[in-house]
Amino acid sequence: MNSSDERVAKLRSRQWFGKRDRWGFGHRAWLRAEGFSEKVFEGKPVIGICNSWSELNNCNAHLRQVAEAVKRGVWAAGGFPLEFPTISLGEMLMKPTTMLYRNLMAMDVEECIRAYPLDGVVLLCGCDKTTPAQLMGAASADVPAIMVPGGPMLRGMWRGQPIGSGTDMRRFWDEVRAGRMSEEEWCEVEGCISRSAGHCTVMGTASTMACLAEALGMTLAGAADIPAADSRRLASAEESGRRIVTMALEDLRPSRILTREAFENAIRVDMAIGGSTNAIVHLVALAGRVGMDLPLSKFDEISRSTPVVANLKPSGEFLMEDFCYAGGLPAVMKEISPLLKLDALTVTGKAVGDNLANAACFNRDVIKPFAEPLKTEGGTVVLNGNLAPRGAVLKQSAASAHLLKHTGRAVVFENNEDLIARLDDPNLDVDESCVLVLKNAGPKGAPGMPEWGHLPIPAKLVKAGVRDMVRISDARISGTSFGTIVVHVTPEAAVGGPLAAVKNGDRIELNVPERRLELLIPEAELKQRLAAWRPPEPHYDRGYGKLFLEHILQADEGCDFDFLRGRTAREGGAVGSFRNPAM
């Protein structure tokens, strides 16, 4: 047997298709119902194309075309592609929040990879949660995997003005509420803000997670930011199809790529691109899948020493399409390369530093030089204090400078219903110096930790021209959000965190330079209030919701399920054996 035969003999799929017994017959014969000849079973690596395509998820609605490009590459490299679906998490339509279902999708991905005869997997993602869910599932299954993000939409254009998803929608909505934008203009914007297939056009969560997948080494270089409608998106998918066949034969698994160095690179990149606050939750969860603790302090440490160089909304001016044309993520990584672990291994089989050899920046307005960055510190900071003993986060790159040190009177909303009912009440006792507080919007409280943290400015203040206030909650915010918004307050109110004890009129201090978030009441008073606290009624008493409530971890632990963290003790992935069940 030569070495190539040996590698083929070790493929997982040979346990299904490589046997001449009754079981091998069954596996081949039933799959031949799809019209395959016997040639496909002669030792070609079987490549699963894990597709989160769905018409309910517009961001991923083009992924069947992407899958065809992947298949071309797999066939060309001597593999045997088989596409399979998983659930898909469409950020805009799925309620109460896609975050409620991220772990469910991760389980779907993990178990499909493990249960089927796959030697390698191509992960097709796009919308916010589909990327971390696939990475988490693939990390746990630990079969060779490469990610192909779907890419961003073309930039929105309205009356000659580039507009970005989410970010500009919020800006225009405030103009509508203030009476400065007409209903007709608002309708026009609706028709031209989403001009093609693909995910949101700003450095929101989807763009951030695609960039972090690349920074982790889980995609080909340059794969994160090519627009969905650009032919190079399909060419990159085809190339990924070719590459996964070799990865399967090399047994290059996620566990060799998702190292501590890879995570440090991903955090650096997150800070340099002004990435979504959601990235912190997802990276912590992913690290947990490979048995690695990633404390919030690590994010803050890296944030302090990483400049923001990507001038993209919501932190800056430009959109993802501009980012791609300016050189994209490779150009950013080259810019901050003195800070990166350049030896970290990637899916290309080469180190990060090798992949960046040809990276270049073509537009200094979009990607700033390391020496003259957009911001001198990273996009996201981690806060601590008696209001957030286990941490909270704030995107300082998209906050108002004058509010980064601020003390104000709390205006408290007990939950989202309370917020909706009272926020725009003309009699609400609020002014622009107040701190808006939303409780019970965390992992258990909402449930699912929705993106409710971008509390709207009360209508009467919007009309008076107020555009930002300090807002605090245990919710998340969209990556497209902007403003001085503290989120992920941990522990959340619904499990008795100090946030639960805040009352109207309390004074709250936010001090970003010192990374502090304090409720300015005596310690004894805080203890007394928390002793009197009673948990809210659980939202579910059956089904997936019950499982979620019983096992969901807090934000500082990535909101994964407790039983999904860590590596599988018994081999269940790449070369695990199985006994044939009765047919």
Contact stretch for ligand FES (CB under 6 A) within 67-75, 197-205, 486-494, 546-554: 197-205
Residue 154 has φ and ψ, to the nearest 5°, of -60, 155
Contact stretch for ligand FES (CB under 6 A) within 12-20, 200-208, 244-252, 377-385: 200-208
225 lies in the site for ligand FES, by CB under 6 A: no
User: What residue spans of 116-182 are helical by DSSP H?
Assistant: 130-141, 167-177
Nearer to ligand FES, 91 or 225 (CB): 91
59 lies in the site for ligand FES, by CB under 6 A: yes
Among 260, 240, 209, CA closest to 347: 240
DSSP three-state, residue 156: strand
Instruction: Report, in Å, the least distance between residue 205 CB and ligand FES.
Output: 7
Q: Are strands 507-511 and 516-519 parallel, antiparallel or unpaired?
A: antiparallel
Nearer to ligand FES, 200 or 310 (CB): 200
Instruction: Report, in Å, the least distance between residue 112 CB and ligand FES.
Output: 22
307 preceded by a cis bond (ω within 30 of 0): no
Instruction: Report, in Å, the least distance between residue 201 CB and ligand FES.
Output: 9
User: Is the CB of residue 385 less than 8 Å from the CB of residue 517?
Assistant: yes
206 lies in the site for ligand FES, by CB under 6 A: yes
CA distances from 167 to 277, 428, 438 (A): 14, 26, 21
Angle at Cα 146 formed by Cα 325 and Cα 7, nearest 5°? Answer: 140
Amino acid at 210: A
- Both tokens assigned to 282: 């997802």
Nearer to ligand FES, 236 or 478 (CB): 478
213 lies in the site for ligand FES, by CB under 6 A: no
Contact stretch for ligand FES (CB under 6 A) within 4-12, 199-207, 405-413, 466-474: 199-207
128 lies in the site for ligand FES, by CB under 6 A: yes
229 lies in the site for ligand FES, by CB under 6 A: no
239 lies in the site for ligand FES, by CB under 6 A: no
Pattern 71-110, binding to ligand FES, x per CB under 6 A? --------------------xx------------------
154 lies in the site for ligand FES, by CB under 6 A: no
User: What gap in Å lies between CA 284 and CA 298, rounded to an integer?
Assistant: 10
127 lies in the site for ligand FES, by CB under 6 A: yes
Nearer to ligand FES, 46 or 94 (CB): 94
Pattern 300-339, binding to ligand FES, x per CB under 6 A? ----------------------------------------
377 lies in the site for ligand FES, by CB under 6 A: no
How would you classify residue 559: left for phi > 0, otherwise alpha for psi between -120 and 50, otherwise beta?
A: left
Nearer to ligand FES, 416 or 478 (CB): 478
Contact stretch for ligand FES (CB under 6 A) within 112-120, 198-206, 438-446, 571-579: 198-206
- Both tokens assigned to 441: 């919007």
User: What gap in Å lies between CA 498 and CA 486, rounded to an integer?
Assistant: 15
Going by the DSSP 8-state scheme, the letter that residue 32 receives in this structure is: G
Nearer to ligand FES, 82 or 475 (CB): 475
200 lies in the site for ligand FES, by CB under 6 A: yes
493 lies in the site for ligand FES, by CB under 6 A: no
CA distances from 151 to 48, 97, 173, 201, 224 (A): 20, 22, 26, 9, 6
Nearer to ligand FES, 209 or 382 (CB): 209
Instruction: Report, in Å, the least distance between residue 193 CB and ligand FES.
Output: 11
63 lies in the site for ligand FES, by CB under 6 A: no
CA atoms 230, 232, 234, 237: torsion sign: negative
User: What gap in Å lies between CA 525 and CA 532, rounded to an integer?
Assistant: 11
Pattern 496-515, binding to ligand FES, x per CB under 6 A? --------------------
Instruction: Report, in Å, the least distance between residue 60 CB and ligand FES.
Output: 8
User: Is the CB of residue 334 less than 8 Å from the CB of residue 360?
Assistant: yes
User: What gap in Å lies between CA 361 and CA 372, rounded to an integer?
Assistant: 14
Among 451, 570, 494, 555, CA closest to 206: 451
Of 72, 199, 471, 476, which one interacts with ligand FES (CB under 6 A)? 199
CA atoms 125, 60, 130, 113: torsion sign: negative
Of 204, 222, 408, 453, which one interacts with ligand FES (CB under 6 A)? 204
- Both tokens assigned to 483: 């403003």
Report the interface residues with ligand FES, using CB under 6 A.
Answer: 59, 91-92, 127-128, 165, 199-200, 204, 206
